[in-house]
Amino acid sequence: MTAACFLTIHMTNNWYHKTTIYQIYPRSFHDSNEDGIGDLKGILQKLDYLQELGFETLWISPFFSSPQIDLGYDISNYTEIAPEYGTMDDSLQLIDEVHRRGMKIVLDMVMNHTSAEHPWFIESRSSRNNSKADWYLWRDKPNNWKSMTGGSGWHYAKERDQYYWSSFLPFQPDLNYRNPDVKKSMLDIVRFWLGKGVDGFRLDIFNVIYKDAGFRNNPFSPKLIPSEEDPSGFFQEAKYTMNQPESFSFAKELKSVCNEFGEKILLGEIQGNTELIKNYMTQNGDGLGLVFNFEMLNFIFTARYFSDLIKKIERDFPDPLMPVYVFSNHDRRRSIHRIGEDLQKAKLLHTLQLTVRGVPCMYYGEEIGMTDSKFPFGSAFDPIPHKFKYIPRFFFDLIGLTINRDEVRTPMQWDTSQNAGFSSAEQAWLPVHNNFKTINVEKEHQETRSLLNTIRALLKIRKEEIILQEGSLECIEGLPIGVLGYSRTFGKMKLLILLNFDKQSKEFPLDVSECIFKLNAEDEIKNKAIRLNGFGAIIARITSD
């Protein structure tokens, strides 16, 4: 074995660098008790589906006690289960059953803020001199800081005649991590769940966990709309409200707590440019093991875009760092929206996602091509649209912002029965999308070349081929316009991935051996040449002596 090969094996040895992640939004996945709301037992009933599909790690959005104003991202008790989702026993059974199937389970840890109904905050706001008085960020007068959702993030509490800070929405007050008791209490909660056997955490808005100790005013920025790579916005640079040096060291502290329990995943939700994201990760594995690469949520479906993206990611996140390829989540429009709801393009997109060097993270329903719904802002469960109800919808459509996140959270489409098999209640918490008769698991299960079966086949190949889990990646130059190609190498083993982003078929000479996957029946390798149908793809093995 060569030294280079040994290095590859050594560096990417963590299970979470090789895994595949599936995000479950519990409210919308499966309802076991006919109340129209998905629950933990509902997830339990669908574990065989997920295991058979081939995902290895399940990330479950929050199911802890909560007034549910932000549908679980406003927690009022971190060690209790919200009754609509089940009981502590259900959660323990879920952890066991996931493990029994050889899979991993990752919880969503909202450490930055609690619900305003959390007993800590109730106490903290009650007076200026209670035992939790400085567990949150309090000031006599607001400074100029804007919240992530726009407008001042300072909110008045008459009990103290002071203002508290909230990075997101007013009912989600930020904890004060400069207070050691706060940090200890939160780390105890982390230990509580690790002690129950979970395999790690997705970390909600981890980039805002610390704010400037001196509350210095943020500088002006001409930017109105925050973006994935630069979260500054609302005419303000988020210099003192995000990505503070203490947040980077806290990532390490959190990792060392996790290490007490073994090799655990920490997956950060962090907006910011590459250099900044890397501050949370660190080269020697003592920070966050994974951070979502959010810039690709805004992908453009061309070979050029993905070629540039992959090259940039390879340059910025070389081994031992590992990127996360994510195209959808519970906050953003589903990936299929960006490709005109075209299932053939979706197959190509996910062929890329499951063969590049990186951890793929898929959102529930993405595997069958579920689409977004359209709901009026006024009746939304999501609190965001209520904040912006006076701004006409077309403005947000124009700038591509998802304001009503209910639209991307509709119930999972299992079959053609009532509520798409999500719930036998008369009414699901959100209406099922009216395309459920054509887009559902049961139907796609029966179609050989459906999106679902394509993803299943790719997950199987990925599991079997260590090259796809750990191999290095090199882009292939000189291919026809519209075709993207890259090779994955592990030791002496090599795979070649060719993807045609054009609707025209492409033929070009290339000497490869065995084809181990083709997206269309017509994609083929013949006489030392490749033929790719429109939006076709091939994975081929290259054998060298």
CA nearest neighbour of 54 among 350, 335, 357, 313:
350
Cβ within 8 Å of residue 474, ≥6 positions away? 486, 487, 489
CA distance 241 to 178: 14
Least distance between ligand NOJ and beta carbon 513 (Å): 44
Please report how close the Cβ of residue 167 comes to ligand NOJ at its closest, in angstroms.
Answer: 8
Position among 31, 39, 70, 199 found at the interface with ligand NOJ (CB under 6 A): 70
- Environment class of 514 (CB within 10 Å of its CB; exposed 0-12, middle 13-18, buried 19+): exposed
> CA distances (Å), 396 to each of 206, 255, 362, 399, in order?
26, 38, 25, 5
Q: Closer to ligand NOJ at the Cβ: 72 or 86?
A: 72
Tell me, what amino acid is at 280?
A: Y
Rounded least distance, CB 232 to ligand NOJ, Å: 17
Residue appearing with tokens 């933990």: 40
* Token output for 508: 């070009």
CA–CA gap between residue 90 and residue 297 (Å, rounded): 33
- Give the H/E segment covering residue 119: helix 119-126
Smallest gap, in angstroms, from Cβ of residue 135 to ligand NOJ?
18
Q: Residues 405 to 434: which contact ligand NOJ by CB under 6 A? A: none
Q: Does the protein bind ligand NOJ through residue 330 (CB under 6 A)?
A: yes
DSSP letters spanning 39-87: -HHHHHHTHHHHHHHT--EEEE---EE---TTTTSS-SEEEEE-TTT--
Report if residue 205 touches ligand NOJ, rule: CB under 6 A: yes
First and final C-alpha spacing in the chain? 14
Among residues 330 and 350, whose Cβ is nearest to ligand NOJ?
A: 330
Binding to ligand NOJ by residue 110, rule CB under 6 A?
A: yes
CA–CA dist 239, 460 (Å, integer): 44
Task: Report yes or no: 481 and 502 within 8 Å, Cβ to Cβ.
Answer: yes
Q: Which is nearer to ligand NOJ, 120 or 306 (by Cβ)?
A: 120
Task: State in angstroms the smallest separation of the CB of 59 from ligand NOJ.
Answer: 11
Q: What is the H or E stretch that residue 446 is in? A: helix 441-446
Comparison of 265 and 439: residue with beta carbon closer to ligand NOJ: 265
Establish if 90 lies at the interface with ligand NOJ (CB under 6 A).
Answer: no
Near ligand NOJ in 142-201, by CB under 6 A: 168
The verdict on 206 binding ligand NOJ (CB under 6 A) reads no
Closer to ligand NOJ at the Cβ: 70 or 465? 70
| One residue of 29, 64, 73, 154 binding ligand NOJ per CB under 6 A | 73
Cα angle 133-237-155, degrees, rounded to a multiple of 5: 30
CB of 315 to ligand NOJ, least distance (A): 28
User: Does the footprint of ligand NOJ cover residue 331 (CB under 6 A)?
Assistant: yes
Residue nearest to ligand NOJ (CB): 73
Nearer Cβ to ligand NOJ, position 59 or 501?
A: 59
Q: 219-258 mask for ligand NOJ (x: CB under 6 A)?
A: ----------------------------------------
CB of 211 or CB of 330, closer to ligand NOJ = 330
Total chain residues near ligand NOJ (CB under 6 A): 9
| Catalytic machinery residues | 204, 260
Query: Does 58 engage in binding with ligand NOJ (CB under 6 A)?
Result: no
Helices in 262-360 by DSSP H: which ranges?
Answer: 274-281, 303-316, 343-353
Shortest distance (Å) from residue 244 CB to ligand NOJ: 18
Residues interacting with ligand NOJ, by CB under 6 A?
70, 73, 110, 168, 204-205, 269, 330-331
